[in-house]
Amino acid sequence: MRKIAIIGGGITGLATAFYLRQSAHAALEIALIESAPRLGGKIVSSHENGFVVECGPDSFITQKTAAIALCRDLGLGEQLIGSRSGKPTYVWDRGELHPIPEGMMLMAPTMMLPFLRSRLISWPGKLRMGMEMFLPRRDETGDESLASFTRRRLGEEALEKIAAPLMAGIFAADPEKLSLQSTFPMFLEMEKKYGSLLRGILKKKQASARGPVPSGPKSLPAPMFMTLRGGLQQLVDALAARLHLETIVLHRQVLGVTREHDRYQIELNDGSRIWADEVVFATPADITADLVRAIDPVLAFKLRAIRYVSTATVSLAFLRGDLKTPLNGAGFLVPHSAHRKITACSWSSQKFSNRAPDEFELVRVFIGGARAEALAEQGDDALIDLARQELRVLMGITAQPALARAYRWSKANPQYDVGHAARIAEIERIAAWHPGLHLAGAAYHGAGIPDCISSGMRTAMEIAKRLVDPQDTDGPAHVPTSDSLKENQSYDFHRHSSARCNFTQTDPSSRGPRLFQEPDARLLGDDPGLRPGLSSLSRRGRLHTAP
C-alpha cells in the first residue's frame, strides 16, 4: 500500500486529502500532519453571543468556482450565502467616503455614466483615464508591477485612489512590487491583444451584445463573494469529518524531511518518524523551505525568496442605534496617500447576513500589510485602540464597542512580487527532480481560498496519476498558446507525452470528469509563467479555460 504524507492542515492540505480520498483507490494510506491543535490554518471562525467573527478570511470569490464546488461536494450547498448585492465599497478621500463607481473592472471603468458621475476621481484624473484608449501598447513583453502598469495606462490618480487601495486590501501588497502577470494577467493580455484596456473592454462588450440572447427568465447575477452561514470554519469542520480519523495527526510539528531508499522520512517534534512514498508540503513557502533543506538546499533557497508580510484584523461590534450614520455598503478602503493607520474596513454585518444579532453592526478593520507591517505587530489592546481611533476619525464612531477582538497574522500573506511566475516555474522545475515531492498552497498560483483548493485538487490528481502509472514523471505538457485555446471553452485533452497534448473543443454543457475541470485556471497566454496549471494534467481529461 502506498503512503502519502500531507504536511499542513490548512485548507490546502485538507483539500488535497479530500480529493485524494475521492480519486484514489483504497490501497492508499494518507497521513495529514498539523502542528496546531486544530485544523484550518488561517481559516478561524469564532462564535460569540450571536456574532460570527471571522479572524482570517471571511469569504471567497465566486468567479473561481473551486470553493463552491467543494462546499457542494461536502453537502454544504444549502449553507452557502452570497454577499448582499447593490452594496457599494467606498474609498476614503478628502475627509469623505466615496463609492467606487459601479462597473469598475479593478481600476478600469466598464460603464461610462457611473464613472463620469463619480466624485472619487477628479476631472483631470478622469480625462487621463480616458486617454488610455489612445496610448500605444508597451513594446517589452514580460512582467510589470501593477503600479507601473496602472500609472502608465490610466494615470496616477487611478493608481492612488483605486488600484493601490484594492491591492492593499486583497493581497496586503505594495503595488510597486506586485506582479501584474501573477495577479491580473488579463490586463496584460488585453493590452497585448487590443492595444488598450478600454478598447478591449469595449470589444468584449460588443461581442457579448452580439451573442445569443439567453432564453427563459432572467437570472440574477451571481454574488461576487460567498461564505457559509456559520462561518468558513464550517468548511474545515466538514472536511475533517469526511477524512478518516486515523488520517489526521494533530498537534505534531514536522521538523524536517529526508529522502532515503526512494521513500521520504518525516521527523516529528515528539521524536517519532513517518515514512511515506509521496509527501505534500501544504505549508507556507518559508516553512517549506526549512523542511526541504536536507533534500535540496537550492529548492529551499528559492522557496525562501517568496516574501511574506504581516497583517492584523480587529473586529468591533456596535449597537446600530449608536452609529451616527447608518451603514450602507460593504465597507471602505483607505489609500496609502491618506496617511492613516488602517488599510480597510469591512462592514461584515452589511456584507453578509447572519453575522450579528439584529440590533448590532459588526465591522472588521485591517491593519498592516506590505506598507505598514510594524503596525500589525502590536499587542491586542494597542490594535483595538488604534482601530477605534481610526474609526472615530474616518466614520465618526465614538460609541463603546459591544465586542472587540484583535487577531495578528504574522508573516502570513505571501507576496506575488514582479517575476513571481518565473520564480515559481523555476521552483517547480527543481521540485520535479524529486519524484513524489509536491508543493501546494497559497504561495504559488493564487492566494485565495479557491486557489488553495484548486492547488490541493491538482496535487491530488498528480498523485493519483502517479499511482496508476508510477513511471509518469513527465514534466509539463506542451502548452498551446492563446491562439489554439479559446477563452471560456471546454476541451477534452489527451496528453501523449511531455511534448504533445491534443485538445478537442467539447460541448460545455456535457459533464466530464469533475476533477479535471479548472474553471479558474489561467491557462491562456504565451508566457511560460501563465502555464503551470497544465503541468499537472493527467493523460486524459477535460478542462475549462478562464473566461
Which residues form the interface with ligand FAD (CB under 6 A)? Answer: 7-13, 33-36, 41-43, 56-60, 253-254, 282-284, 287, 311, 313, 409, 412-413, 441-442, 447-449, 452
Nearer to ligand FAD, 43 or 477 (CB): 43
Question: How distant, in Å, are the alpha carbons of 251, 304, 386 from that of 255?
Answer: 13, 17, 37
Amino acid 431 reads: A
Nearer to ligand FAD, 413 or 545 (CB): 413
Nearer to ligand FAD, 118 or 310 (CB): 310
Nearer to ligand FAD, 109 or 519 (CB): 519
The answer to whether residues 226 and 76 touch, using CB atoms and an 8 Å cutoff, is no
Nearer to ligand FAD, 164 or 236 (CB): 236
Q: For residue 296, count CB atoms less than 10 angstroms from its CB and return exposed for 0-12, middle for 13-18, buried for 19 or more.
A: middle
Minimum separation from the CB atom of position 280 to ligand FAD (A): 11
Helices (H) and strands (E) in the chain, counts: 17, 25
Minimum separation from the CB atom of position 16 to ligand FAD (A): 9
Nearer to ligand FAD, 232 or 485 (CB): 232
What are the b/e assignments for 268-293, b being 16+ CB within 10 Å?
beeeeebebbbbbbbbbbbbbbbbbb
Minimum separation from the CB atom of position 422 to ligand FAD (A): 21
Minimum separation from the CB atom of position 43 to ligand FAD (A): 5
Nearer to ligand FAD, 118 or 311 (CB): 311
Nearer to ligand FAD, 161 or 445 (CB): 445
Kindly calculate the radius of gyration of the chain based on its CA atoms and give it in whole angstroms.
23
The answer to whether residues 171 and 447 touch, using CB atoms and an 8 Å cutoff, is yes
DSSP-derived secondary structure letter, 40: B
Nearer to ligand FAD, 56 or 109 (CB): 56
Residue with cell 471567497: 60
Minimum separation from the CB atom of position 110 to ligand FAD (A): 23
Minimum separation from the CB atom of position 298 to ligand FAD (A): 21
Q: Which of 435, 524, 425 is nearest to 474 (CA)?
A: 435
Q: How far apart are CA 103 and CA 111, in angstroms?
A: 5
Minimum separation from the CB atom of position 83 to ligand FAD (A): 11
Nearer to ligand FAD, 352 or 491 (CB): 352
Q: Which of 117, 67, 29 is nearest to 228 (CA)?
A: 67
Q: How far apart are CA 301 and CA 287, in angstroms?
A: 12
Q: What is the largest CA-CA distance in the chain?
A: 69
The answer to whether residues 23 and 38 touch, using CB atoms and an 8 Å cutoff, is no
Q: How many CB atoms lie within 10 A of CB 188?
A: 20
Nearer to ligand FAD, 37 or 217 (CB): 37
Minimum separation from the CB atom of position 84 to ligand FAD (A): 16
Q: Which of 19, 91, 61 is nearest to 336 (CA)?
A: 91
Q: Phi first, then psi: what are they for 69, rounded to 5°?
A: -60, -40
Minimum separation from the CB atom of position 454 to ligand FAD (A): 11
Nearer to ligand FAD, 56 or 101 (CB): 56
Q: How far apart are CA 178 and CA 437, in angstroms?
A: 28
Nearer to ligand FAD, 201 or 363 (CB): 363
The answer to whether residues 237 and 231 touch, using CB atoms and an 8 Å cutoff, is no
Q: How far apart are CA 308 and CA 414, in angstroms?
A: 4
Q: What are the grid coordinates assigned to 288, written together?
A: 517549506
Secondary element (H or E) of residue 428: helix 420-431
Minimum separation from the CB atom of position 21 to ligand FAD (A): 17
Minimum separation from the CB atom of position 523 to ligand FAD (A): 21
DSSP-derived secondary structure letter, 252: -
Minimum separation from the CB atom of position 171 to ligand FAD (A): 9
The answer to whether residues 248 and 60 touch, using CB atoms and an 8 Å cutoff, is no
Name 481's Cβ contacts closer than 8 Å, sequence gap at least 6.
525, 526
The answer to whether residues 291 and 303 touch, using CB atoms and an 8 Å cutoff, is no
Minimum separation from the CB atom of position 466 to ligand FAD (A): 22
